[in-house]
Structure 1
């Protein structure tokens, strides 16, 4: 009974409205085609530039020397910027795909009107084959556009710290070690400032890397420790602000003094990316009473201490005194 009602409903659809669907489909597909052509041409130029820079980068890695540091960082950042500019192209493809999916359902529904409206087998075959052909085009075209100008080397993990370290090592005949990449190419700096009741941290890096953790440990002569963990996104410079919880009796000036009076060979920093950890000692440069700059000093292969592992597990920005993260809170 329900099937009979559905068939009667489909037969009752006026062909004038299906003709209206034909006109709207033609207009929509024409507009989408023009948009896609424009963005595809733009994306084609970006892809050409990306491939060119990528080849130059690989050639320079083969003959790597410290004089290439700035060039290497600059080319990697160029790749990151060009890849970021593909955002509009990807959005247009998404819109194109969603529109064609909707048109697929509309035309599938409209074709049933003609299928149930005729008893002639030949007519049914023509209607079914035409509908299948149309739907195949709607489904296949977005997939072809997604794969058009696709760059194999630009995987989702390309700008992850661990992936870039492996890329640099493999293409430089292993002359770029973990230590060289982090210290000379990434060359991160941690700038700590005490401003009023707050502590500001500026994290600077030469390469736009994304989604990795930086955990620093500072220890003074009395054994007091301060831990700082930062979640780094794809920016060359990030600022973090830390405040004291209202219920805490600790002042940030005291925390800052521990960092300022920390012992050089006891200051350490850990980089965590894709479950791989890299560890350095830190070199301190005091700029003023309220500003300190830390940079990488010596690479180490020592195991990661338990307090740092526990902080890593939190995967969030935090500043803690003696490993107690309930004293200090992070503010955007």
Structure 2
């Protein structure tokens, strides 16, 4: 089954994060257009988390447990590392260069920051060398737990759901000083669980077009209202509910309405990982240009276009080629 609309949602989420980071470009005196439109653009990250949970469950529901469990887990980890690591390491290296700070990462606090970044471990200051990697720390932790859950075979989803619910409760109950324990017990991990639950429900149950339409209208409308700061989301559970309903709306486009989706938007989903990780570099290059007044609107659009071009190049020449090579070499 093709998940074109979930792929489109990947692209939309990555662009939201880009716009969130670029929003100051279109913040004018007396009219902060950037903040009005994209102040909540970071909401794209938990959308990614739900999609990740869904995809992991979707792609492993029919896994063959008649073979050795250890081999299955090893294969799972190989594929995740091949997918995530090459581009992230390359752009982490690139992030070490600006400002002549490259050598600072080989001793003292710089070395601490670099090693933690490469091992997907949170640091005391909260961000890795490539600051967007903080979300990959959550992703890799989720993959770690998901891989271990394969030992439980048919009961694996019970293990994952119970594990993350208990760690979240622990996080609300105890204040941890350790950056790693803060991540492990963070309620953001529940977004992965929601994705898994969606995959299990849609695999076993059929949603009527009537209810799918109602959920879609509610999900998309509420998400837009949150994005525009019309609906405040100070409560973690309200935020979880709104974002989850929004993602479920796109799932109904695939499962219920069978929309084919626009090819360009699907392509944005294909390059979303490169787009997400590389867009700060476009900002670094373009920040030397001083554009004034409402010319910043086309300048903002130029940034988005350049981000898409850079991401496309990284996707074709790094993601696809390196991934293909490593799959052959590592037999994944």
Shorter chain as normaliser: what TM range?
Answer: under 0.3
Higher helix share: 2
Q: Which has the higher contact order (CA 8 A, sep 6+)?
A: 2
Higher strand share: 1
Structure whose CA Rg is larger: 1
